[in-house]
């Protein structure tokens, strides 16, 4: 789900989108409902290319497309209420020596490594002992977003980062109270695009039924038919399907990784959706053969 630097009252309805660019970067977009008594910060760990530099992450402003995930849901089809936004102001001076970005209604920074958290204001850092319990993040970078106090659903946070990871990464580990628990309650919908998945799937069935070849739910149409692709700043590709995984319940408290095969942006020919029509094609072919055979026999008799 996410890592908060201060306790939160609740977090739910987390939605994450991820896509590989095909040129060494990964796109990520994130949205959730949360309630916090005080101003807070959310940290998203990412497997950034090493050695990491400040310019290895580019923030994407989706302030004017707050209903991105509502549109993505429509592809299955499914509909969610639009987000209410997050319009509280923040003080950029708390970002110390790290470069500060205004991304829609957020103040955001990219922290290239754990050591670089020293360049961040103390109210937006986790204790050293917390990081010691999750050593896998030793070579990670971190996208940090300031959040307003209250009960809100901010517009999606999004960015593109350079990565050496061949797998598609979703930051789903939970830290809401400064403690790393072995398992947590998940309320996630994970969305992804990958041309390799498009080449495997069968025809669309329903909004909750996973495709037997990918164990993911495929969209009914390509993204351009239900998403305003031109408003996503390159995040979503219109010529690809959308795939999603619904994760709700108690699960091990870890990040989620998909090992995918094939080119991420160039789909290959997929004839599998036509297999559902195979019985009808066989019937039509049989009927056609019968009438063609009868016609030939009739002509043969007449010629005699």
pLDDT given for residue 281 in this prediction = 63
Q: Kindly report, residue by residue over 38-68, the tens digit of the pLDDT.
A: 888 889 999 999 999 999 999 999 999 999 9
Task: Tell me how far CA of residue 254 lies from CA of 2, 18, 27, 190, 213, in angstroms.
Answer: 11, 17, 20, 14, 24
Mean pLDDT of 187-197: 96
Using CA atoms, how far apart are residues 20 and 192, in angstroms rounded to an integer?
9
Choose among 196, 176, 194: nearest CA to 185.
176
Residue range 123-135: average pLDDT? 81
Residue of 119 and 274 predicted with greater confidence: 119
CB 169 within 8 A of CB 255: yes
pLDDT band with cut points at 50, 70 and 90 for residue 78? low
Sequence-separated (6 or more) residues with CB below 8 Å from residue 183: 250, 251, 252, 253
Nearest Cα neighbor of 234 from 16, 14, 15, 19 is 19
pLDDT class of 1 with cuts at 50, 70, 90: low
Burial of 68 (0-12, 13-18, 19+ CB in 10 A): buried
Q: What is the pTM of this model?
A: 0.80
Residue-wise pLDDT tens digits, 195-223:
999 999 998 989 999 999 999 999 999 99
Contacts 24+ apart (CB under 8 A), 50-56: 50/139, 50/164, 52/112, 52/113, 52/141, 53/112, 54/98, 54/99, 54/110, 54/112, 56/110, 56/112, 56/141, 56/161, 56/162
What integer best gives the mean pLDDT of the chain?
84
Is 92 a residue whose pLDDT tops 50?
no
Query: Measured between alpha carbons, how far is 114 from 112 in angstroms, rounded to an integer?
Result: 7
Per-residue pLDDT of 21-30, as tens digits, reads 999 999 999 9
Q: What is the pLDDT of residue 150?
A: 83
pLDDT digit string (tens) for 287-296?
A: 777 677 777 7
């Amino acid at each position: 789900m996410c890592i908060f630097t201060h306790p939160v009252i609740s977090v739910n309805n987390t939605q994450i989108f991820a896509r590989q660019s095909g040129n060494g970067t990964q796109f990520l977009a994130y949205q959730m409902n949360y309630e916090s008594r005080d101003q807070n910060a959310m940290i998203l760990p990412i497997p950034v290319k090493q050695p990491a530099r400040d310019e290895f992450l580019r923030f994407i402003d989706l302030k004017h497309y707050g209903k991105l995930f509502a549109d993505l849901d429509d592809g299955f089809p499914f509909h969610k209420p639009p987000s209410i936004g997050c319009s509280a102001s923040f003080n950029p001076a708390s970002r110390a020596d790290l470069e500060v970005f205004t991304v829609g209604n957020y103040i955001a920074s990219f922290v290239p490594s754990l050591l670089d958290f020293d360049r961040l204001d103390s109210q937006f850092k986790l204790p050293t002992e917390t990081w010691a319990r999750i050593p896998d993040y030793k070579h990670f970078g971190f996208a940090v977003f300031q959040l307003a106090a209250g009960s809100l659903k901010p517009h999606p946070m999004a960015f593109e980062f350079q990565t050496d990871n061949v797998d598609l990464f979703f930051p789903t580990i939970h830290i809401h109270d400064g403690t790393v628990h072995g398992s947590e309650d998940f309320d996630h919908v994970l969305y992804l695009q990958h041309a390799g998945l498009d080449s495997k799937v069968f025809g669309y069935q329903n909004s909750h039924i996973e495709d037997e070849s990918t164990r993911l739910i495929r969209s009914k149409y390509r993204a351009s038919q239900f998403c305003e692709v031109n408003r996503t700043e390159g995040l979503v590709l219109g010529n690809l399907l959308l795939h999603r995984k619904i994760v709700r319940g108690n699960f091990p408290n870890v990040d989620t990784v998909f090992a995918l095969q094939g080119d991420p942006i160039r789909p290959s020919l997929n004839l599998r959706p036509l297999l559902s029509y195979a019985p009808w094609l066989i019937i039509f072919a049989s009927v056609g053969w019968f009438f063609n055979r009868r016609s030939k026999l009739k002509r043969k008799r007449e010629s005699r």
